Chain A
Amino acid sequence: MKKEITKYYPLIPVFAAYLLLFLIGRNISGMWQLVAMLLFYCALGQAFNIFLGMTGYVDFGYVAFMGIGTYGMALAITKLAHIEGLGIGIIIIGFILALLMSTLLSVAVGAVALRLRGAYFAIATIGVNEGFRFLIEGARIWNGSEGLIFTAQLNEILGREAASSLMTYWADIMVLIIAALAAFVTLYYMRSKIGYALTALREDEDAAKVMGINVTKYKIIAFITSACFAGLVGATSWALKTPYVFPPEVFEIHYTIEAIIIVLLGGAGTLLGPVAGGLIYGISKYYLAIFMPGFQLLIFAPIIIIIIVLFPEGVVGMLKYRLKDSALARFII
């Protein structure tokens, strides 16, 4: 029993970080939206880490899953707003749609792209992202390039006050829950057969295959899980927080690059890494934008390079190494 509990100890620093963020946001005036931004980056990193960190595959088309999740929520709100009595149920349907659509897309993409490796896999996923965006625009699916704007429908469903607090507060709480859930699932995978199989394939895919591991199965599990969390992040951080969807914005490759940076800064394949990476990334960007508006990217780029050169395994990777013989080792993985 004790062993069962101790294996979840590494969640303590992750949840403590989220709790601290929540308390700062709630109690210090003007900090909530900053906390919301940090939570978004942490959730993005945590979700992306499930695939990149555990398999070593770099999915450059990752933002497509966030985009499709955003559409899932947007479609539920725009298509069901007129049905009386559904109320908050529409948001729940939106989450189900977001999950369903991101799962379907990840199954379709995974079935093809996961047969490839290295640069070929990366290029194929970029193609999927761009191709999907052009499909929506060109075939005029879901209002095509005009996108969907649905603040008015959200007001209609929930009432103005409730919709406003959803957009400015509750959507961020949902992101926090998604980030925590992603951390829990990551640890669960790490501590189960799935995690051992993924570690084996990350280190040497051919050797893992020879050892009898069904690498395709485990890659697809990690890929779909990661995509589902991306869909949920899109549905909350983009669709509920900002009730509009324009295809060029929700399929912008920049977000995938940000996810990669966050995971590498914190430490790929670690549990605490995406939290550390998300916080370093978000806080640096925010305060540089305030104190050096216009020049922050010039300063930020060298900072990232220095961190990655000094800590090639990421900040948490370095911490893990330093603390390996101490009592804290069981909390940091």
Chain B
Amino acid sequence: MKRNYLKTAMIFFACFGFLLATNALAAPKKIVIGHPACLSGKYAKAGEQAIGGVKACIDWVNNVYGGVQVAGKKLPLAYKYYDCESKKEAVTSLIARLITVNKVNVVFSAYSSGLTLRGAPVAESHGMLYMDHGGANNKIFRQGFKYIVQTIGPATNYHQGTLNMIQKVDPKAKKVALAYEDSEFAKMVMHGAEGHAKKLGFNVVFKRTYPKGVTDLTPLLSALKASKPDFIIGGGHFEDGQLFNRQMADLDIDVKALSLIAAATLPAFYKALTSMAEGVMGPSHWEYGVKYSVEEAKKVGLNWIGPDQDEFVALFKKALGKEIIPDYHAAEAGAQVLAYVLAVEKADSLDTRKVRAALGDLTFMSFYGGWDVDDTGLQVGHSMVDVQWQMGKRIIVWPKEAQTGDVAYPMPTFAEKARGKVALPR
């Protein structure tokens, strides 16, 4: 009797072991993207957009593209996300859960450089691919992380397109003034702009920062006026950008071009300043209206993948169930899905090392623009777009492959704007 029990138990354990082994060896039925998203807290707005962007592109991959081709099979993408509340303590615990409990194949970082940095050591310790669509700080990629790859353009690139454009449209303009907010992000943008300006042969005649939450920029602008720049680049956030423009008008500081980060691309900027904002520019990772397409990709010798812009917008609205236009947070998160899909197909594997290596060799174009990373994972293939207010409308004026109109250069003086003159290309 005892022997029978023993036999039964042995057979049972053998079957159980076999089942476990076959389960472990079984090919995956889907590819899961994990994301400690910022659904609440200070980055909630960017977080919601990112979720919409990821869902929209997953929808496209599964239903239009037909899934991800890997090891002779088409696998669908799935998406698992939690709310990290924009807090670093939650980011690490949720990434660990996504990797160990949900068994995701890739982790998308939370928004911001700080939260991206917080999650990187945990992802690295699990040998997990970690894709960054919200941390623009270049220093993240100098820390020696092996599995991190960036989709968002680095902060140092923000004003490079503006400088390239001005050099092209007005080679005589040589004097540039830099005036940025004193914050981690804006100062990184300023370092990049300064380096690029010098490389292009511009003369930096003024360089200064102003504190966060500033309420009066008159002293800084008066000093800036005395340096007689041809054009000004700077900014930090919406409030100080608006103040910058308004007080430039008060002090009659007329320059050929003004480009402000973060503020000038927002509709609220023109609403608050009306005619004073005419001709003012701002860089953005992506704007609704960009003209990236299969044809543009062919022209620059890149492969195209993903939905076109209108298809992406429709999928985004469907994903969130809201009638809102996606912003760049959505576009970069969506483009990251496409980059991952191409890399898995190129590697023909889900192995982190192979996919990371494939991402390093990957170049392509999508509705978001170009995509390419260097050896450290830093994004080098994506160009910022420059947006300019012309007749109360946001026109994408740079780069050529994305533009919806020519640049209005030089922009009207503040006296002309007060008389009703609008910015129009010549």
Residues of A within 8 A of B (CB): 29-34, 36-37, 40-41, 134, 137-138, 144-147, 149, 151-152, 155, 160, 164-165, 167-168, 241-244, 246, 248-249, 285-286, 289-290, 293-294, 296-297
Contacts and interface: CB of A to CB of B under 8 A. Distances in A.
B40 A151 contact: no
A100 B318 CA distance: 56
Contacts of A152: 142-144
Contact of B88 (A32, A137, A249, A294): A249
Contacts of A144: 182
Interface stretch (B59-67, B96-104, B413-421): B96-104
B188 A146 contact: yes
12 contacts: A30-B100, A30-B101, A33-B96, A145-B212, A164-B124, A167-B121, A242-B88, A248-B184, A249-B114, A285-B85, A286-B90, A293-B39
Contacts of B85: 285, 289, 296-297
B96 A30 contact: yes
A40 B121 CA distance: 17
A149 B120 CA distance: 13
A71 B175 CA distance: 39
B125 A168 contact: yes
Q: Chain A's interface: helix, strand, loop or mixed, by majority?
A: helix
B187 A146 contact: yes
Contacts of B164: none
A113 B101 CA distance: 48
Interface residues of B, number: 43
A34 B83 contact: no
Most buried by A among B83, B84, B142, B188: B83
Q: Which of B37, B101, B114 has the most CB of A within 10 A?
A: B114
Contacts of B96: 30-34
Contacts of A290: 82, 94, 97
Chain B facing A: main interface SS: helix
Contacts of A241: 92, 121
A36 B140 contact: no
B184 A164 contact: no
B114 A155 contact: no
A175 B235 CA distance: 40
B89 interface: yes
A241 B122 CA distance: 10
Interface in B140-164: 140, 142-145
Contacts of A151: 117, 120-121, 143-145
B45 interface: no
Most chain A beta-carbon contacts within 10 A, residue among B93, B114, B122: B93
B405 to A, nearest CB: 36
Contacts of A32: 96
A37 B184 contact: no
A34 B39 CA distance: 19
The winner among A168, A286, A294 for most chain B CB atoms within 10 A is: A294
Contact of B39 (A36, A147, A165, A294): A294
A137 B37 contact: no
B118 interface: yes
Contacts of A146: 184, 187-188
B274 interface: no
A289 B182 contact: no
